[in-house]
A and B are shown apart, each in its own frame.
Chain A
Amino acid sequence: MDKMNLQKTANEIRKHIVSSLHAAKCGHPGGSLSAADIITYLYYNEMNVDPANPDKMDRDRFVLSKGHVAPALYSALALKGFFPEEELLKLRKTGAMLQGHPDMKHTPGVDMSAGSLGQGVSVAVGMALSAKMSNEDYRVYTLLGDGEIQEGQVWEAAMFAGHRKLDNLVVIVDNNGLQIDGDIDNVCSPYPIADKFKAFNFHVITIDGHDFDAIDAAFNEARETKGMPTAIIAKTVKGKGVSFMENQASWHGAAPNDEQYEVAMADLEKVGEALCQK
């Protein structure tokens, strides 16, 4: 998919995020919107996955370690055809396929149940190790929050991945700078993030996480990197694309009401129209 179509697809995914959270009346828009471009790229340009055969053994794997941004993943999976788009509006409802955090047992295309922060990255490491042990060439991707990396388990996993030289593993940090209680560097600073991963024997690439050229270059660089895992530190904007949500920690875990929903959708429509006129 070219850059223009990636941008358009990401904008559609953002609309689905806003619609599904509005319907659910709760959930996590801020991080879902900041991660939307990365997730779009993964599902449309990077990973070997097949909606018709979601469990095929040679597929690339994605573990959404920051599982609270499930609406971004669900929207990408629905657009790709893993399940009907109508499911998105049942998000978080009793009996729905789409749980508040990813549930591999019920949602086609979800490779691992996750959401308790810090745990998904270890599972991704296990998948990458497994491929190395049996000489399989699938790749493994995991997306972490920048607040999530305050969890010690992330660094246990990073130490192991670096030690085992898992070059089939890409860890992406959605560095939107905000967590529930405020700025990450005020709450308990994880900075310098890049230096930390370097110290754990990762190849580290820092990019603008909303620039598809940069995202494309980073994933290609990761693929060419041998003998060590790659960490992509994606600088992003929490709430990206919705004017009143951008850079607001308060939009970490709150759904838009009817009025806010209209404004948010109008914002995203404008983005979409601008892309069509290019």
Chain B
Amino acid sequence: MATYEWTPRIKHAAIEKEAKTLPKEEVTSHPLKGIVVTEVKKTGKSQVQDGRPRTSSHPLDPLTSAMDGADPLSMFASQADPLSRMSTQTTTKEKSMPKDENNGLDETFEPWSVKKLSILTKHTTSEKLTITTSFLSAHEKDRVVIKAQSTVTDKVKNRLEQLDDFEEGSVQEMLDLSQQEYVNRIDELNQALIDAWDQDQRVKALKIAIQCSKLLSDTNVIQFYPSKFVLITDILDTFGKLVFERIRSKSNYIPVGSSMPIQLPENFTPEQVPDSAKETCRNWFFKIASIRELIPRFYVETAILKCYSFLDTSEYSAALCRLADMTRGMGDPLVGIYARCYLSRVGIAVAPNIRDHLMPCFNDFLACYSQLQSDHVQNTLAMQKVEMPRYLTLYCPALDWILQCIAHRASENTLQTILEKCKKLFNSALLLNSIMSAFKPEYIAFRAVQFTEQIRECEETGFPKHMLYCSLGGCLVLASPPEDQRLAVLNEVWKVVMKLKNPLDYITCAEVWIEYVAKHFSKREVNTILNDVIKHMTPDRAFEDYYPQLQSIVTKVLSHIHDFTLLFSLDKFLPFIDLFQKEIVKVEVCKSIMEAFVKYQAEATSDPVIINALMFICKTMHDSVNALTLDDEVRAIGGLICGFVRKISFGRDFEQQLSFYVEARANFSNLDAVLVELVECVNTLAVETRDVVKGKHSRKTASFVRACAAYCFITIPSLQSVLARLKLYLVSGQVALLNQCLSQGDAFLKAAISLIAEVPKTLDVDGKVRSTEPLMTSYICSLLSTLLAVPDNPDQGVLYLLRGLLNVLSDFPWDVNSSAKAVVYVNVLSLLCAVSQEDYVYHIDRVDANDSMYGSDPKFLGEVTKISATVLEEVFSHLKVLGEGQNFKKQAEAAIEVFNVMVAHGDLSKHQMFTLALNLWGLAQKHGQGDTKQMVRTLDYVKRKAISKDKEGKVFADLASKMHLQSRT
């Protein structure tokens, strides 16, 4: 192959620039930012109850902050708090739960699904449980069958046994079930119910429902009762839904003015229901009314309460009141209150506007209150070894729910009446507690002092008083009490809390009340409380057991005190942090502090107190990172520390800023993200310095920017990621050149070039193997454009850096199947064209580039031509390789690329260049793989060039006439 010579066209950069400027327009918003309306809805009570404000991700990255609102993570976090999300996951099974459940209920009403989960987690047992039913095929039996099939007689016997089991009425008791087994059994029952229903065995389904509800009359293992209630009422809900849906699906009605029967709409009226459906419905109620036992009769009827809507909507009210009365017959107070709870729960779901039954429910409970102290109860407790306080807390979920139903949208008068009733009735702590959790916090807060008095005076029935204080605290956090009561309340409460002996009781109270203090009082009070907590937690290293609570205290303080100068000036805050002695917890706490800082610290600070404290905190986080830490964790910590670094600014005191960066580097040397951030910060610092002196460095500033360059130069090699190093070398080199530090700039670029050789061929990005080639192509192009402005080092040869780069590139493991190599070399050609101009397209301010150094010296140009020839040869060889590898598409792409550069920058008046261009055009079309649209555009471009009348135009016209477009077909 003959060697081609490359002749660049001489252009007039300035004139061309003029001609090419596009019209500009000023805009006010980011053009890439989508229109996003963010509405973060508070989930009301449910959110606050779990105590910890959610930790959403903060816009650490300036890029994401520009796109705020679209950050998918924070959006996800704001959707729902984790608890309710979890509960929705568990209830997806029942997603067809009656829609109108929310009818007339606003979001202040805590839905049952949320409550359910907390009950299940709270009321657990390690005791053995018993289940009595005839519908369970015990797993053990299956196993036995497999084992015992050895002989024929055994087989027969087994089958007979199985038949027996199947026979209805063969009620069996399963003893000694662990809680988990019990839950599994109940799940099985649920499944059995659904199966029976699906197999049209409705009587069996009803029997299962009855047997399930019968389990609720059994108060053995009393501490598990609330959970049992939840599990079993779930089954009953399923049953009720099945019955309702079946009747609904069976009943077609004929709408007015039509003759075609259609299915009942969602919100039908009783008039639309056909007689047959009413009859079926009545049959269900008749059947249920004849259930012998009280408790199953009550529960099953309540479960299918919704079916009354087929008969007459006014039935609801009567039925609810009747059922409420029915609960009086339940002797066991616990069974009774849960039955009422179920009633009000179903009631609020099917007919939220009917509330006549609620007050009687509550009154009945009050009337039966004495039962709680009865011999019967005492005996049971003694037998099951349950203490009174524990027993009383079992009432909470049900009572809370009933009161919540009463309190929903109730006036303050209702609270007043209930309070009075409660006072009359020995001022029961149990009741007070539920009242506080049920009524609107505003109402409670308004009477804060009255409540503290009532709590103080309430009888010691064994219901833990500290729980009352917790509930009160919870209310007061949500709603502020009147100004004049605030301190009185705090004093009254804290006096008692301080005296709590049990650290668990103490810390649960403190956890709640710290938020109240942080919200309404000054730092002095917060400090006092923190001090008190430390004092209580230190003996016997009690704090070790209560990390979650302590952690939540920190979060609560952080969510209310956003002034970090103030926060760190509390002399008990850091000692408080010192309580966290377990590494993992400590890091968690540090993270939450940093998150708060990054989120709330709006302005950069130079406060030494903050810097010291945060430096310490960040160091703790940094030191926790080791080889086993998860990537995400490392990323999070890195992000937080970066946030910290960014928020520190000493204003014009650049030297101090640099020394801060030096210190930061010393402290956070293990985190790539932070080091990258630091290098970038230092570069920014150098550029700022330049801005301050307006480009004219004094001796002092010059040495400062050199120091900055030096900082970068030593920091970069310690980075793990090759790509990050490459990027930073280039940026730092550019910054150094900008600051007229030529030798430093040279060193950076040299380092970058020699590093290219080390770039691995593939890279692991987010668990996927990616080729580095596209990255490298763009990087090299960017490096090339920098090189144009870099003057040659007089000690080295002409275009020393470029030669070095070419050397590295020739050894670079290019993929033979891609056009990347050709693209890079074509860009080198462009650079070489630019280098041969008399006056370069761009310059670095106050740095003379090669144009002024060589002044288009022919010797220099000759050197450039020589390099061009070599490069061109490389391009051709790659084109050939592509052709050999049958990669015609890539080949065409590369060829058209070269052609474009040639047309743009080459001097086509030279015959050799002209032929070459035509050949390339031909090559691009040779195998019919070229992008036709691009070819057409290219031809248009050439034709447009040909319009001008000068010599050049003629050449282009000539070229255009010889360019043939090959039609595909």
A binds B: no
Q: Which residues of B contact A (CB under 8 A)?
A: none
